[in-house]
Amino acid sequence: MTRRPSIFSSEDARIAAQKRLPRMIFDFIEGAAGREVASRRNQSRFDDILLQPRAMADIGSRTLTTRFLGRDYALPLGIAPMGMCNLAHPRADTQIAQAAVDWQMPVCLSSAGSSGLVDMLRWSDGLAWFQLYFGQSSEVSFQTVDRAHAAGYETLILTVDVPEVSRRIRDQRNGFGLPFRPTPQALLDFAQHPRWTFSTLLHGVPAPQNFASSGKSFDRTASRAGADWHFLQALRDRWPGKLIVKGITSPEDALRVRSLGVDAIYVSNHGGRQLDSAPAAIDLLPIIRRAVGPSYPLLFDSGVRNGEDVVKAIALGADFVMIGRPVLYALGAAGGAGLQSLLQCFAQDIDLTMAQIGIARIEDIDTRTLFSAVPQAASGDTLLGPRTLATALRPLQEPARK
Ligand SMILES: Cc1cc2nc3c(=O)[nH]c(=O)nc-3n(C[C@H](O)[C@H](O)[C@H](O)COP(=O)(O)O)c2cc1C
C-alpha cells in the first residue's frame, strides 16, 4: 500500500519540519537577518499581487516546458543553492539530485554544500549547477572554479549578496556555527530529536565539502568581499560555460553585470537572510526587468511558496524561478518523499493556475495576466498595474544578444 503524502503545501512542510528537526537546525533554515522582516515581506508581497482569471480560453492542452539558457526543462522551476542541505536530512543532496532527474530540473550545489561537486553532478545526471562563494582569495576561488569545470559543470552561479555574512540572531542564540562546537543546550536539543540525531550520526555528520581546496576548514563567517567587479570580470574571462550572478537587486548593478557578458542575472535578496531592510524581492523584479530589457535572462527567488507565486514571478519578468526554504522544509519533514510531494504541489499549482488565467504555455505568461483594480487611473496606476508594468518592462536599452 502506498502511503498517502502528508505534504500539500510549503506550510505543511514547514510545520512538519519544525516538529522533526532540532530547533538549531530548523532555525538555521528558517532564520534570517535582523528581525526577519525582509523574509516575511518577501512572502507577504506576493499576496498583494493578483492574477486576472480568464474564461473560455483555449487551455485544453497545457505545457509547463520551459526553455532557459539554451536547454529545455520540464518546469519553469529549479532548486536554489543552499549550504549544508544534509542537515535537513542525511541524504538531502542525493534526494535533491534525484528530483533533478525525475523532474528534469536544475538543482544547485552550493560552495558550502554538504556533498562533493563530482558526486552531485553524477547523481543529478548532469543537471546540477555549481554556486560559487568567494573564498579566502581569488586564487582559492579560482581553484574551486577550475575543479567545477574539470568535474563537467556547465553552469556556474556567482553569489554576490553576501559580502559579509549577516548576523542571524536565531543562530547566535542557538550557538549554531561551522565548524560546529557542541554546547549543553545543543546536546539537549539533539537528545529531544533522537530520530534526526541517530540518522545523522549514522550517515556521518555533514560538513561543507567544496569551500576551499587549500586545506583550511570552512569558516561560515569569513568575509566574501573579494567578489568585486574585478573578480567578476576575471571569472567571466576564465569560465567558459554559462555564468549567472545571484543576488542582484539594483538596476545599476544589473546593467553592469550584463555589460560584462554574464549570461543571466538571478534576482534574489537571499531570502531576507542578509539585509532586513531590503525591499521584497518580488517588488524588485520588474525594476530589474525594465533595466535589462525584455529578452535578457532573469532568474528569481525569495519568498516563492507555491505555484501561483511562480506564475506571478514570471508575469513580473522572471524567465525561471527557484525554490529555497520549502525544499529544506520538505526534506526535513519527510526526506525524498517529502520533496517529491512538494514538487508535485508546485507543478499542479502552476498548471492549474495557468488554466484559470487562460494560459496554455509558460512563455505566454506576461504582465497581461496580472489584475489591476485601477487599470486606467488618470493620475497614476497602482504599483503593479498593467500600465505601470508595461512602462516598467520597456527596456532602458536593448541588451546585446550573445
Ligand atoms: C539554509 C539556507 C542556506 C542557504 N545557503 C545558500 C548558499 O550557500 N548560497 C547561496 O547562494 N544562497 C544560499 N541561500 C539562499 C537561497 O539560495 C535563496 O536565495 C533563498 O533561500 C530564497 O529565499 P526563500 O527560501 O525564502 O524563498 C540559502 C538559504 C537557506 C534557507
Is domain 10-393 given the CATH code 3.20.20.70 in the classification? yes
Tell me the chain's radius of gyration from C-alpha atoms: 21
Q: Which atom of ligand 1 is nearest to the CA of 81?
A: 17
More confident residue, 212 or 129: 129
CB within 8 Å of 100: residues ≥ 6 apart: 79, 106, 107, 124, 125, 127, 128
CB distance 271 to ligand 1 below 6 Å: yes
The pLDDT of residue 179 is 75
Dihedrals phi, psi of 243, to nearest 5 degrees: -120, 130
The pLDDT of residue 79 is 98
- Domain map of the chain by residue range? 10-393
Q: How confident is the model at residue 381 (pLDDT cuts 50, 70, 90)?
A: very low
The pLDDT of residue 136 is 86
Which amino acid belongs to residue 308? E
Degrees to nearest 5, angle at CA 178 with 174 and 182 = 50
Does position 384 have pLDDT exceeding 50, yes or no? Answer: no
The pLDDT of residue 216 is 53
pLDDT tens, residue by residue, 132-181 = 999 889 999 999 999 999 999 999 999 999 999 999 999 999 999 877 78
CB distance 268 to ligand 1 below 6 Å: yes
Q: How confident is the model at residue 6 (pLDDT cuts 50, 70, 90)?
A: confident
Rounded to the nearest angstrom, the gap between the alpha carbon of residue 252 and the centroid of all alpha carbons in its chain is 22
Region 200-223 average pLDDT: 76
284: alpha, beta or left? (left if phi > 0; alpha if psi -120 to 50)? alpha
Residue 48: how many other CB atoms lie within 10 Å: 13
Residue 267: how many other CB atoms lie within 10 Å: 27
Region 234-243 average pLDDT: 98
Does position 299 have pLDDT exceeding 70, yes or no? Answer: yes
Which residues does residue 67 pair with via DSSP β-bridges, in sequence order?
A: 72
Dihedrals phi, psi of 278, to nearest 5 degrees: -70, 145
Burial zone of 230 (CB within 10 Å; 0-12 exposed, 13-18 middle, 19+ buried): exposed
**Annotated catalytic, 89?**
no
CB distance 162 to ligand 1 below 6 Å: no
Spacing, Cα 376 to ligand 1 middle (Å): 38
Spacing, Cα 127 to ligand 1 middle (Å): 19
Which residues does residue 300 pair with via DSSP β-bridges, in sequence order?
A: 267, 321
Nearest alpha carbon, ligand 1 atom 6: 82
CB distance 108 to ligand 1 below 6 Å: no
Which residues does residue 108 pair with via DSSP β-bridges, in sequence order?
A: 129
Residue among 270, 267, 353 nearest 317 (CA): 267
CB distance 131 to ligand 1 below 6 Å: yes
E-state strands within 94-193: 107-110, 128-132, 155-159
